[in-house]
Structure 1
Amino acid sequence: MKKSTLSFLFLVFTLGLCAQTKTVKDSITVLNEVIVIDTLTAKNAIGIVPSQIIGATVFDNYSPVDFIGSINQVSGVYALSGALNTNRITIRGVGSRTPFGTDKLRLYYNNIPVTNGTGFSTIEAYDLENLTSVEIIKGPKGTGFGTNLGGAIILNTKQLSNQPTKFTNNTTIGSYGLLKNNFGFTHTQDDFYMTLQYGHMEIDGYRENNRFERDGFLLNSIFKLSEKSELGLLVNHIDYSAQIASSINQADFNEDPTQAAFTWKASKGYEDNNYSLVGLSHMYKASTNLKNTTSLFYTYLDHYEPRPFNILDEYTNGFGLRSLFSGNLTVSDNTLSYTVGGELYKDEYSWGTFDNLYKENDGNGSLQGDKLSQNKEFRSQINSFATVAYPFTKRLTAQLGMNINKTQYDFRDLYNSEATNTSADRDFKTLFLPSLDVNYSITNNSQLYANISRGFSNPSLEETLTPEGIINPDIIQETGTNYELGIQHKSEDNRLKLDIAIYLMPINNLLVAKRIGDDQYIGRNAGKTRHQGMDLDWSYKFNASQKIVLTPYISYTYNNHSFIDFIDEEANEDYSGNPLTGVPKHKLNTGLQTNFGNGLYANITHQFIDEIPLTDANTLYSESFNLLNIKLGYNKQVFEKLLLGLDFGINNLTDTTYAQSVLINASSFGGNAPRYFYPGNNTNYFGSIKLSYTL
């Protein structure tokens, strides 16, 4: 079926069902969060800023291992996963040009920023089973969450207040030697709440040199000090090791997608990580009209990665403070809502590289040799923010926000300390990033909103340095302005939900990291891009019979992103007007959730990913693909205090060969073909058994 036909059919289907909704005369003035097939938690996005929340209902569509599948169910978001430890999340095309990892958005864990000093976020450091919900703010409209061009992702852990003491255990086994176990303990009393989670996972993987093993625990506790004050403690620790199969070229992808890249297999390349987060928060409610929440936090990452071209040994110490005041004032008989706050993040990043002597190690893999480099960088980022929201009429509310960002880098070459120009400071100019949100309530259940917001992205470490390893003084931050218009509608009985947003975001000073060697990049500001498109989410819940409840849903993304002004000076080519590299034009997620009313349920999910341009010249594209997954489950109250849950799932039901992630503008070294593709898993199975015991 052609893509245009596919898009037309589902839009007609959507509009037809929308016609069944009722009109309500009442109006409201607060913009509710967009909820993707879920009713879960209050949003974190400040004021009337729209966001999307996914939680248990969406997580239940996928395996407990498949965090990326859940995120991909959100329109406007595309997460590419080369492996469990190799993920890249893009929002509305922002971040698609990053070679490895996720940047240009800000990641929070219980409102604590966990994005490092240059803007990189590691989603794989967190266990899906420890989360209650994931909230996504698309674009820079999240004034209190960094105003990054890509937006913000907020991970929320389980906080089940007023619940009895409970033990839970979920064990999952599956293909490729998968074993995952998550144990939880929750306890609540009048002035104290605690949850403790411990998880272990191991899997050999679909490909060669692809084993992943992770252990981690989460402690989340709240102490109620008084009627107005409470203290929270969060401790999250993850220890994981992951072999690296890396990307492969087109011929190897077609011949045998299970194979690892030759040099990564020969060196038995892998990464070993220890990551810790400790946060202490205090909430004080001075009155019904004034509240403050302040968090102190510390993060630590120890990363060791033997690679074919060298061995990387690095560690990062980060710490910071986030404080938010929120309250209400009466102005002209109306209630004005305001927030004022700030966020300070500092980290110290130390890294060195060593020779990898794997060729001399008799086939035993990587062997550390002589030191090649030793560096240290001190990085700091300050975000100050404020918002004011005011209802001008019963139907019309406006919110004005301002974020002020200041970023500094201090780079030191400790290996060539006697040489000149090997250490330098980089003090980026202060950015003033305003935002305006307007919400108009057409009816009680239909709301129209608009946003104009300014955002930015910091250059990555590679982009700030020249190939000689010194600070590039010419690199500046990307900046852009988001223009967005959307409508949110739900039926009176809350069965139908429809959310549509269109947007336009030109980005200036496009940051480009061009790879010129195995571990060398040239960073530069190369031009402008235009990000424009549409996000659509629809769901409808209806009773097929007295017991059977069906919930079909659609999540559709239309990306029409392109280079406005982009000249590749090395290639002497003008790519202006070309579609943006690394982004599919169409992304479609559909599914059907069926609840049979007796504890039995069945979920079917489908994903379509359009072809992706792999080069700036648009001379090579990945192939489009469809994936089909199914999951069956059963929940039974065995005894008064014991709940039993069983589920079984099949992923990639049609055994499609596809690239789950791609590497854009892949370079060719040593006469070898460029390696663009990370193969996705073939047909695979999983099953889980969950026990929950309440004291």
Structure 2
Amino acid sequence: MIRPSPLRRLASPARLSPLMLALLGALPCTVVAQPAATAPAATAAELEPVVVTGTTRERRLADLPYAISAVGESALRDSGPMINLSESMARVPGLVVANRNNHAQDLQISSRGFGARAGFGVRGLRLYADGIPATMPDGQGQVAHFDLAGAERVEVLRGPFSALYGNASGGVIALFSKPVRERQFEIGLDAGSAGLRQGRVGFAAPLGDGLDLSGNLSDMSIDGFRPQSGAERRLANLRLNWKGERDRITLALSDQNQTADDPLGLTRAQFEADPEQTASVATQYDTRKTIRQTQAGASWSHQFTDAGAFSSTRVSAYAGSRGVSQFLAIAPATQANARHGGGLVDFDRHYDGLDARALWHWDRVDLTTGLSLERQKDDRQGYENYTGTGASQVLGVQGRLRRDETNRADTREAYAQADWALADAWQASAGVRSGRVRMQVADRYLSNGDDSGELTYRYTNPVAGLRWRASPTWTLHAAAALGHESPTLGELAYRPDGASGFNTDLKAQTSRQIELGAKWREGALSLDASVFHIATDDEIGVATNAGGRSSFRNVGATRRWGLELGGAWRIRPGLRAQMALSLLHASYQDGFTTCTGVPCTLSSATNTAAVPAGNRIAGTQPASGFFELAGAAPWSTDGEWGLEALARGRTAVNDLNSDFAAGHALFNLRYRHRWALDAEGALELLARIDNLADRRVVGSVIVNDANGRFFEPAAGRSALVSLRYSRRF
């Protein structure tokens, strides 16, 4: 089991990457980070957030003709140790971020049902951190490197306008770092249940002549509440900005190093017997994962003052590398199949991209046009996860090579978007994004057949929206769009018939979306509501599981429709409430055949069953909700308490709907207090108790798991204490 000591590691240069050492070395020179927390944050009704996602320029939430939410710095800090997006995103209607309580697997994220089928990573959504995509060109993404401690806000775009972000954009999650406003330095310490320890250092400083520098460094470790679930993560981010009279340049660098044990999921019987146990195969094979990721990005924007309608340009470029080694729990007997790729996944990825856009502004029209290029190259190997035979056999170690190939994906896109003020109360928005994504595999391990191949998918996603300001406090909007989601490289890797070669029969899934919404702002009260309908054709689903290889196919049409409500109310000074409610109907319209066990091929009746039309899409919930009541502490205006309630309906674990993770409601309690030590320094305490009633529930499900280990337990009652010292200079 991984047993950490973050504070000791923070002080040990031998344990730090070059980027982390550079960050620490910069501290004495600049010393600054997040502003000290002050009074409880204002609600949206008092200070409407300004967002940029999905629009041609910064606009207020109430002025946009689509469903979008912003989670600010205060909410991110109050929600936990700022390790996972799942801590704070429950307050966004329509979005489900399930914490697997397994750092070897990324969060399970879905928006209006898009992304729910992902067995690992994030699928069907576009992810961005300061404009740098965290979603690769093939549509697979991850968020473990998001720097929540350095974030000013996270914007979440749902619905039709997400189509403007191109392929596999069923929704958009975008993180924005805090701008540098003053010299500050911050140290944070977190301690919690399951052996959680985290140390954080942050700084920010204006350097003069338009330059400013900021950075954050964190070192986290956890034992986990289940055996074989410990993890360590070191994350560093550095940003350098320069702002001139008409130009702005930003350079960003990030580095993530993570090791994590994998406790795997539990069967129904195992979960009911003891939700804190770990499947025996996890310890038998020492299932675990190592991640190494470094990336850099740069952007340059220029404002024009004498070019007529030509207002500004922006060019952004990024490049990075990601390496993953993952030991799986696959038996040697299964790997005896000549077609098997081994029980150890190992790849090194290099990726880069470029986005260039121009903004035109006329009296009543804003127009943005742009071009986007993205590439990824994976040098992928597979090895046996054992050595030797019989009594001398050793499990959970690297063995013989069983897979060796190069995977490539690249996209080429052009886009345009216009916002037109038709009249004082009317605004129209329209856009289109057209492009193609190309997937290639060059197989070098040919003793089990040649899996080389190439496919190209082309798409054009138009979108249109209309907003009517019915009164100074009430606006209505409507939007419609077409969407496109191509298969990932992993989904194209194997054919359903078991033969060698690329899965050339797998088509992209397409969708038609419509949305109607209303936004109401009245004094201290705000309310956003949306209803939507999504019709998808050629939905991508699991076809077969055979010999440790999963293949995919198109399973026909699906339908998603639902209601989303989000609201905030300043009840009186020192007392506020926030709520989010989501209702979702997501079902298959066509019947199809699926696997029920291993081995399985659809050409055989062994381990197969029929999925009837009308079944719920696996991984989706019919309802979810969030409610928060927070107020100033009676004994001090410098303290704030908060009570949170989270509810989720039952979740189908597979396409057959043969089992469900039960719905549940959980309650959390928090308290934050700030002490002003002097005019420049402050100390802040955050104390949380999550899952007050100590309910044992399923936190997330492994959709369509071939071994029946669908259930990933949520933690029981857990406590967190965070201390944060900040100082201005």
When the two structures are superposed, what TM-score results if normalisation uses the length of structure 1?
0.89
- Could you tell me how far apart the structure 1 residues matched to 2:77 and 2:211 are? 29
Asked if 1:168 corresponds to 2:218, the answer is: no
Which residue identity does 1:373 align to in structure 2?
A: R
Residue aligning to 1:146 = 166
Residue aligning to 1:91 = 111
Residue aligning to 1:301 = 322
* Cα displacement string for residues 551-592 of structure 1 (whole angstroms, at most 9, x for unaligned residues): 112100001111112322634525211222211111011111
Residue aligning to 2:123 = 103
Residue aligning to 1:461 = 489
Asked if 1:343 corresponds to 2:364, the answer is: no
- The answer (yes or no) to whether the contact 1:586–1:609 under 8 Å persists in 2 is yes
Which residue identity does 2:212 align to in structure 1?
A: Y
Which residue identity does 1:102 align to in structure 2?
A: V
Shift of the 269–420 alpha-carbon distance from structure 1 to 2, 3 Å rule, reads: closer
- Could you tell me how far apart the structure 2 residues matched to 1:182 and 1:49 are? 39
Residue aligning to 1:584 = 621
Displacement after TM superposition at 1:270 (Å): 0.7
Which structure 2 residues correspond to residues 431-446 of structure 1 after superposition, within 5 A? 431-446=459-474
Shift of the 358–166 alpha-carbon distance from structure 1 to 2, 3 Å rule, reads: farther
- Could you tell me how far apart the structure 2 residues matched to 1:39 and 1:694 are? 28
- Could you tell me how far apart the structure 1 residues matched to 2:449 and 2:685 are? 64
Displacement after TM superposition at 1:314 (Å): 0.5
* Cα displacement string for residues 84-142 of structure 1 (whole angstroms, at most 9, x for unaligned residues): 34211000011112222211111111112221132111112223212221111113413
Residue aligning to 2:215 = 196
Residue aligning to 1:352 = 381
- Could you tell me how far apart the structure 2 residues matched to 1:71 and 1:80 are? 9
Residue aligning to 1:481 = 512
- Could you tell me how far apart the structure 2 residues matched to 1:75 and 1:538 are? 10
Shift of the 419–537 alpha-carbon distance from structure 1 to 2, 3 Å rule, reads: closer
- Could you tell me how far apart the structure 2 residues matched to 1:383 and 1:487 are? 32
**Residue 559 of structure 1: which of 584, 605, 610 is its match?**
584
Residue aligning to 1:676 = 710
Which residue identity does 2:718 align to in structure 1?
A: N
Which residue identity does 2:684 align to in structure 1?
A: G
How many residues align? The count is: 642
Residue aligning to 1:177 = 195
Identity %: 19
Which residue identity does 1:647 align to in structure 2?
A: L
- Could you tell me how far apart the structure 2 residues matched to 1:149 and 1:219 are? 28
* Cα displacement string for residues 20-77 of structure 1 (whole angstroms, at most 9, x for unaligned residues): xxxxxxxxxxxxxx96998555333214453211112322441123420212221101
- Could you tell me how far apart the structure 1 residues matched to 2:231 and 2:692 are? 23
Shift of the 230–66 alpha-carbon distance from structure 1 to 2, 3 Å rule, reads: closer
Higher mean alpha-carbon deviation, 393-402 vs 281-290, is at 281-290
Higher mean alpha-carbon deviation, 149-158 vs 362-371, is at 362-371
Which residue identity does 1:292 align to in structure 2?
A: T
Which residue identity does 1:529 align to in structure 2?
A: T
Residue aligning to 1:43 = 52
Asked if 1:248 corresponds to 2:266, the answer is: yes
Higher mean alpha-carbon deviation, 563-572 vs 418-427, is at 418-427
Shift of the 177–84 alpha-carbon distance from structure 1 to 2, 3 Å rule, reads: same
Partner SS, residue 271 of structure 2: helix
Asked if 1:540 corresponds to 2:569, the answer is: yes
- The answer (yes or no) to whether the contact 1:36–1:537 under 8 Å persists in 2 is no
Output the aligned Cα RMSD: 2.1
Displacement after TM superposition at 1:469 (Å): 5.1
Residue aligning to 2:526 = 497
Residue aligning to 1:281 = 299
- Could you tell me how far apart the structure 1 residues matched to 2:646 and 2:270 are? 25
- The answer (yes or no) to whether the contact 1:529–1:563 under 8 Å persists in 2 is yes
Which residue identity does 1:202 align to in structure 2?
A: S
- The answer (yes or no) to whether the contact 1:139–1:147 under 8 Å persists in 2 is no
Partner SS, residue 125 of structure 1: coil
- Could you tell me how far apart the structure 2 residues matched to 1:636 and 1:598 are? 11
Which residue identity does 2:80 align to in structure 1?
A: S
Which residue identity does 1:159 align to in structure 2?
A: P
Partner SS, residue 194 of structure 2: helix
* Cα displacement string for residues 569-619 of structure 1 (whole angstroms, at most 9, x for unaligned residues): 634525211222211111011111112462100111111111112232323
- Could you tell me how far apart the structure 1 residues matched to 2:126 and 2:103 are? 20
Shift of the 285–387 alpha-carbon distance from structure 1 to 2, 3 Å rule, reads: same
Structure 2: gaps spanning 5 or more residues: 1-42, 57-63, 331-342, 595-601, 603-607
Residue aligning to 2:60 = none
* Cα displacement string for residues 284-334 of structure 1 (whole angstroms, at most 9, x for unaligned residues): 01138511111110021011111122111111100110122112123xxxx
Structure 1: gaps spanning 5 or more residues: 1-33, 669-673
Q: Which runs of 4+ in 1 moved over 6 A?
A: 358-364
- Could you tell me how far apart the structure 1 residues matched to 2:220 and 2:321 are? 21
Displacement after TM superposition at 1:170 (Å): 1.1
**Residue 620 of structure 1: which of 652, 659, 666 is its match?**
659
Residue aligning to 2:32 = none
- The answer (yes or no) to whether the contact 1:146–1:152 under 8 Å persists in 2 is no
Which residue identity does 1:100 align to in structure 2?
A: F
Asked if 1:516 corresponds to 2:550, the answer is: no
Shift of the 577–42 alpha-carbon distance from structure 1 to 2, 3 Å rule, reads: closer
- Could you tell me how far apart the structure 2 residues matched to 1:365 and 1:69 are? 36
**Residue 652 of structure 1: which of 679, 691, 703 is its match?**
691
- Could you tell me how far apart the structure 2 residues matched to 1:61 and 1:359 are? 51
**Residue 283 of structure 2: which of 257, 265, 270 is its match?**
265
Displacement after TM superposition at 1:633 (Å): 1.0
Partner SS, residue 210 of structure 1: coil
Partner SS, residue 640 of structure 1: coil
Partner SS, residue 533 of structure 2: strand
- Could you tell me how far apart the structure 2 residues matched to 1:38 and 1:150 are? 29
Residue aligning to 2:4 = none
- Could you tell me how far apart the structure 2 residues matched to 1:572 and 1:211 are? 37
Partner SS, residue 269 of structure 2: helix
Shift of the 211–252 alpha-carbon distance from structure 1 to 2, 3 Å rule, reads: same
Which residue identity does 2:637 align to in structure 1?
A: N
* Cα displacement string for residues 197-245 of structure 1 (whole angstroms, at most 9, x for unaligned residues): 1110001011110011011110111112x31112110001111111100
- Could you tell me how far apart the structure 1 residues matched to 2:436 and 2:394 are? 47
Residue aligning to 1:128 = 148
- The answer (yes or no) to whether the contact 1:149–1:480 under 8 Å persists in 2 is no
Displacement after TM superposition at 1:149 (Å): 4.6
Which structure 2 residues correspond to residues 269-418 of structure 1 after superposition, within 5 A? 269-287=287-305, 290-309=311-330, 310-330=343-363, 335-357=364-386, 366-416=396-446
Higher mean alpha-carbon deviation, 87-96 vs 48-57, is at 48-57
* Cα displacement string for residues 145-175 of structure 1 (whole angstroms, at most 9, x for unaligned residues): 2263522111111223xx2211011111111
Which residue identity does 2:478 align to in structure 1?
A: A
- The answer (yes or no) to whether the contact 2:53–2:157 under 8 Å persists in 1 is no
Residue aligning to 1:113 = 133
Which residue identity does 2:174 align to in structure 1?
A: I
Displacement after TM superposition at 1:635 (Å): 0.7
Asked if 1:599 corresponds to 2:638, the answer is: yes
- Could you tell me how far apart the structure 2 residues matched to 1:108 and 1:389 are? 23
- Could you tell me how far apart the structure 2 residues matched to 1:164 and 1:209 are? 44
Partner SS, residue 123 of structure 2: coil
Shift of the 515–175 alpha-carbon distance from structure 1 to 2, 3 Å rule, reads: farther
Partner SS, residue 97 of structure 1: coil
- The answer (yes or no) to whether the contact 2:165–2:433 under 8 Å persists in 1 is no
* Cα displacement string for residues 515-565 of structure 1 (whole angstroms, at most 9, x for unaligned residues): 51463112111101001001100110122xxxx511112100001111112
- Could you tell me how far apart the structure 1 residues matched to 2:261 and 2:222 are? 11
Higher mean alpha-carbon deviation, 312-321 vs 362-371, is at 362-371
